[in-house]
Structure formats: C-alpha cells, structure tokens
Copies of this chain bind each other. A is one copy, B any other.
C-alpha cells in the first residue's frame, strides 16, 4: 500500500503569519501523498465580536448558533482556507481547499440536543474516501477546514482533530495512513513541567501504564482515546509533537501505534 500523511494544525500556528509560513514550507517539503486539516481558532472569535455576535463556549467547545456558523464558514472556509491554498500554490504544492460539503467528502449528523444544545455542530458519519482519493490521484493536495455538512444543505461546525482522525480512518481503506497532530508541545510529556520529557513511543500496553501512573490526564486523555480509536480503525501510526516532526531531523516527538 502506498503511504498517505494527514497533517493537522491548530489555531496557534494559523494565527501567527511567521509560524504559518514556516509550517507551510515544512508541509510542502513533506514527501509523498498528503492531506492538511486545519482548525480556525481565535480569528473566528475576533470576527464574531466585530460583527456583534457573542462567542459562547462550554467546556472549551464553541456553541454554534446560525450567526456563529456564518462566521465560521467565512473565517475557516474562506479566509483561512483560501489564503493557505494560495500560499501552498506559491510553494508548488497543488492544493485544493475543501469543506466536507465539497465532493460530498465528509457527512455529519447534527449533534443531538441533550443537556447542552451545541447548535450547528456535526459528528462525522461518513467519509467519502473514494471521492477524496480522486483528488489525490489527480495530484492535488486536499486542505480541509473544520466544516462538514449533513447532506441536506446544512453546513456543520466540526472538530478539526476529529476530521483528521475520521479522514485518516477512511483513507486507510486505500493507503497506509499516518496522522501528524501538530500542537504546542513537543509530544506527550512524562513531566508536564519539563517540555523535553517526551514519551517517544506509546502503544496499547504502555498507554495503560501511563494511565496507571497518572501521566495522561486532562486534555491529553480524550486526544489519546481518539488516537487509539483511529488506530483500531486502520490508521498505521499517529505522531504528536511540534511542526518540526515533519522533518527528518527531529525525532523528539511521540509516536503512537497499537
């Protein structure tokens, strides 16, 4: 099977032009077939506030009413995505910017209302890996923003980590798929106060040990649960660390396998 890399970047990289440009160069130099997934971050909050729309967060998650969805569609789907595509083109990466509505690539269900009504938020239901592969086979590099659709004309705000892992699981039918989650830390840390205490390899066994020792906690726990879900879904390797893990020079990041 041919290899496919799926790289996810967060708001911290997008919001800073120097970081973004440096990252896009690394991404362009990454060899082989690849997909980029990006979130949006604070820019949406800024535009929303300028438009007089209050940003409501519950447990770090954005409540997406109709007005907020419009802002997200403008900022993630337009401003952030299309500028990134233009910059990648300048680096000779033949990028194509996508939401899950484009080529019907990612369908979601609107999250059911339980205790909290998250509004227009989608939980991924189906990844059209053959449609995405047509783009890859045409030598295009898909760049997904964190928006999906329900198939009935409704766009839905969707977590970018989830998009990365669900697209990776889908593409595993056709490729040996790896995910690179780029974030602020160098990887999963043994000691949260020592940024160099990177756990270089985690598998299902050592994961249990880390849990028992209490090393995995807080925000990292759901991230790693999602990783093991993706690995069980067919993804080969998941890497977590800063963007320099995309180069050959840095091996100080966390590699997760089953």
Give me the interface of A with B, judged by CB distance under 8 Å.
47, 50-52, 70, 73-79, 81-83, 85-87, 89-90, 94-99, 101-104, 131, 134-135, 138, 140, 147, 149, 151-155
Contact = CB atoms under 8 A, between A and B. Distances in A.
A77 B74 CA distance: 8
A87 B51 contact: no
A208 to B, nearest CB: 42
Nearest to A102: B96
B99 A103 contact: no
A117 to B, nearest CB: 21
B97 A85 contact: no
A235 to B, nearest CB: 25
A77 B70 contact: no
Contact of A89 (B75, B95, B104, B138): B104
A101 B74 contact: no
Task: Report which residue of A51, A86, A89 has the largest number of chain B beta carbons within 10 angstroms of its beta carbon.
Answer: A86
Interface-central residue, A50, A52, A76, A90, by most chain B CB under 10 Å = A90
A146 to B, nearest CB: 12
Contacts of A135: 138
A21 to B, nearest CB: 9
Please name the 6 residue pairs, one residue from A and one from B, whose CB atoms are nearest each other, closest first. A78-B78, A74-B74, A90-B153, A77-B78, A86-B101, A134-B138
B138 A87 contact: no
A74 B103 contact: no
